[in-house]
A and B are shown apart, each in its own frame.
Chain A
Amino acid sequence: GQSLEQPSEVTAVEGAIVQINCTYQTSGFYGLSWYQQHDGGAPTFLSYNALDGLEETGRFSSFLSRSDSYGYLLLQELQMKDSASYFCAGRGGGGNKLTFGTGTQLKVEL
């Protein structure tokens, strides 16, 4: 089976940098991706790491260490609109199922 663990809540101030961690246990792992979900909305894709290292997309960066079964999402220059839930997700196991982490609610304050 697969499991991905995240902190339940993170709070940061506008303009700051925040890191959301994800640790996973999975078999036949094919990489880690990140999704954003605003209240009442659907999850939307942010980034994907197939290999170890850092991937940067604008203000967002994502990191993966497969040897440590660990990844994180880094959000820079936080804005109020970044207040949302963030999910890591991994594909693996039978049928290459896409399994989501428990989710982290990010609150950005003034």
Chain B
Amino acid sequence: NAGVTQTPKFQVLKTGQSMTLQCAQDMNHEYMSWYRQDPGMGLRLIHYSVGAGITDQGEVPNGYNVSRSTTEDFPLRLLSAAPSQTSVYFCASSYDTLNTEAFFGQGTRLTVV
């Protein structure tokens, strides 16, 4: 029972590089989301999706793109990495938009130098 799988767990990027953080869930959940977590700032919503083909911006979307071509996958793309994007990134999913029990991946610790 895999749940929500995020890869990679750790990543170091140089300023200006691009990369994709992968997120996959095997629970047939409609709702998926990406958060970043910085010290003292809790979990801030980057982008979210209420189903395949539908995405929308959260609180801090600048510098990030997402797509949802399948129910299972919700990758997060950093277009041109900046030191301000150094953070821990979490992917989460829940059954639908009314269910508040979210299941989280183990996180990706990203450092941009």
Q: B interface vs A, CB < 8 Å?
A: 31, 33, 35, 40-45, 48, 50, 56, 58-59, 90, 92, 94, 97-98, 100-107
12 of the cross-chain contacts (CB-CB < 8 Å) are A8-B40, A30-B98, A41-B106, A43-B43, A43-B92, A43-B104, A48-B101, A96-B97, A98-B102, A99-B59, A100-B35, A102-B42
Alpha-carbon distance A48/B102, docked complex (angstroms): 11
Q: Is the CB of B90 within 8 A of A42?
A: yes
Minimum CB–CB distance for A107 against chain B, Å? 15
Q: Interface size on A (CB < 8 Å)?
A: 26
Would B102 and A45 count as touching, CB distance under 8 A? yes
Q: Report yes or no: A99 in contact with B101, Cβ–Cβ below 8 A.
A: no
Q: Is the CB of A89 within 8 A of B100?
A: yes
Rounded to whole Å, the gap between the CB of A90 and the closest CB of chain B is 8
Q: Which of A9-58 contact B (CB under 8 A)?
A: 30-33, 35, 41-45, 48
Closest Cβ neighbor of A3 among chain B residues: B59
From residue B30, how far is it (CB to closest CB) to chain A in Å? 11
- Known A48-B101, A91-B100; judge A100-B42 contact (CB<8 A): yes
Residue pair B104, A91 in contact (C-beta under 8 Å): no
Residues B106 and A42 in contact, CB atoms below 8 Å apart? yes
Closest to A98 in B: B102
Residues in A whose Cβ lies below 8 Å from that of B104: 42-44
Residue ID in chain B nearest A104 by CB atoms: B42
Cα–Cα, bound, A42→B94 (Å): 15
Residues of chain A at the chain B interface (Cβ within 8 Å): 8, 30-33, 35, 41-45, 48, 87, 89-91, 94-103
- The CA-CA distance from A45 to B103 in the complex, in Å, is 7
Say yes or no: A91-B50 contact (C-beta < 8 A), given A42-B90, A99-B45.
no
Give Cα A94 to B45, complex, Å.
13
Measured CA separation A35–B104 after assembly (Å): 11
Closest residue on chain B to residue A2 by CB atoms: B59
- CB-CB under 8 A from B41, the residues of chain A are 102
| Chain A proximity of B100: nearest CB distance (Å) | 4
Return the 9 tightest CB-CB contacts between A and B, nearest first.
Answer: A96-B97, A42-B104, A100-B43, A33-B100, A103-B42, A102-B42, A45-B101, A48-B100, A91-B100
